[in-house]
Structure formats: structure tokens, C-alpha cells
Amino acid sequence: MNDVAARLAAVETAIAEAARRHGRDAAAVRLVAVSKRQPAAALRAAHAAGQRRFGENYLQEAQAKQEALADLDLEWHFIGVIQGNKTAAIAERFDWVHTVDRARIATRLNDQRPAGRAPLKVLLQVNISGEASKGGVLPAELPALVAQVRGLPQLDLRGLMALPAPHADPAAQRAAFAAVARLARECGPGLDELSIGTSDDFASAIAEGATLVRLGTAVFGPRPAAA
């Protein structure tokens, strides 16, 4: 697990360098360590090295880790596809949800957020590349969804999330991320968070305004094979 600390330090340095290179404050870019299929021990090692934000794709897997790591002060981000029958547990167990893409799911999360808890921080997932294989609201439908979610008192709408089609060319990467940032501005004030950028393209995302970068392999190394 010493490799986790070393990788995390290298990632934090790379994030800070990318921010400075593009005239941004490094503190404005936060790392969400994507811990899908990683054992709880790897998250514990990352926490010991200073990491607090973890992103999980699958509810059942996340629940097991949350129980195993209940002694730690962690911030849990749900970054996977949201199934309607899982919204109650997501609303109860997570601090952030990055993948809200339809009003029905937003309403369920709002209604199922436990009383007395702070509103659930949410991001709207945008299908910026128009890929049929990916979730996300289409750009033309985003303003209506923003208006609906803003009316839900137990949700705190913070910004947008996107996973553009992969490109090896940094210019193409930046163009997709710039389109997400432009959509956030067009939707009015308050959409200040941009969850964009993965291990393969986070420098381009930072150049275009990323505030949350979702990195897994860069932090933990190769992902264990699925059971």
C-alpha cells in the first residue's frame, strides 16, 4: 500500500502543475479518488496519505467499504449510473452525486434524503459527445433539468459532470471540456463545479475549468479484475 501514497503524491503534484500552467489556483482543483473495485485497505492507505474524497460507481460495493471504513472521516461521491431502486440508499449514504441526468431520479433523491441532513450536493451529468452508450442529459435538454432540480429543497445543485468521448489529441479533449464549461455558464449562476477529467485527460480538463477531477488508475494503479 506504500505505492498508493507515492502515486497520490505524484498525482497531487501533476494537478498543481497543470493548474499553475493554465493560470489557476491549484487549491481550486480537488481530487476525487475513484475507488471502484479497490479494496478498503487501499482507501485506508490513501486516507493515511491525506486523501478524503472517494468516488464509487456501484452501490453495493460502496456500502461494504463505507462500513469497513466507518472510523474514518471520508467524503463519498457517487459517480455511477443511478438505478431507480437504489436512490434511497444513495441519498442516505453519499455526500455528492455526480450523475443526475433526469428529473425522476432527482425527485427521488430529494424525497429520500434523510430528514435533518444537509441537502445532497448534486451535479447534472451531460452527454456532451452525444454517445448512445453513455448516460447524461443532452445539452438542449439541460436548462429544463436545471430549473427542475433547483426547485428541490433537499438537493444542492452545484454544477455539471461529463465524460466526453476519449481523444488522444489534447486539443480535442479541451474542446469537449470547454463545451461543458460553456453550458454551465449559459445555465446561469451557481453552477460553479465542473466534474471533468480522468486519469487520461485531467490536464486538459483543468485547462478548461475543472474543479473536481476523477482519477482512479493514477491513484491506485491498475484496477483489480472484476469478480
What one-character-per-residue DSSP string does 15-38 give? Answer: HHHHHHHTT--GGG-EEEEE-TT-
Residue-by-residue pLDDT tens, the chain, 227 positions: 669 999 999 999 999 999 999 999 999 999 999 999 999 999 999 999 999 999 999 999 999 999 999 999 999 999 999 999 999 999 999 999 999 999 999 999 999 999 999 999 999 999 999 988 899 999 999 999 999 999 999 999 999 999 999 999 999 999 999 999 999 999 999 999 999 999 999 999 999 999 999 999 999 998 877 75
Closest CA to 196 of 175, 212, 173: 212
Q: How many CB atoms lie within 10 A of CB 84?
A: 10
pTM attached to this predicted model: 0.96
**Confidence (pLDDT) at 222:** 87
Task: Write down the pLDDT at residue 227.
Answer: 58
**Domains of the chain, residue spans:** 2-220
According to DSSP, residue 113 is labeled S
The secondary structure element, H or E, covering residue 106 is helix 103-112
Q: Which of 15, 56, 50 is nearest to 35 (CA)?
A: 56
Which cell is 213 given? 477531477
Measured distance CA(109)–CA(220) in Å, rounded: 30
Q: What is the pLDDT of residue 132?
A: 87
In CATH terms, is domain 2-220 a member of 3.20.20.10?
yes
Alpha carbon distance 1, 164 (integer Å): 31
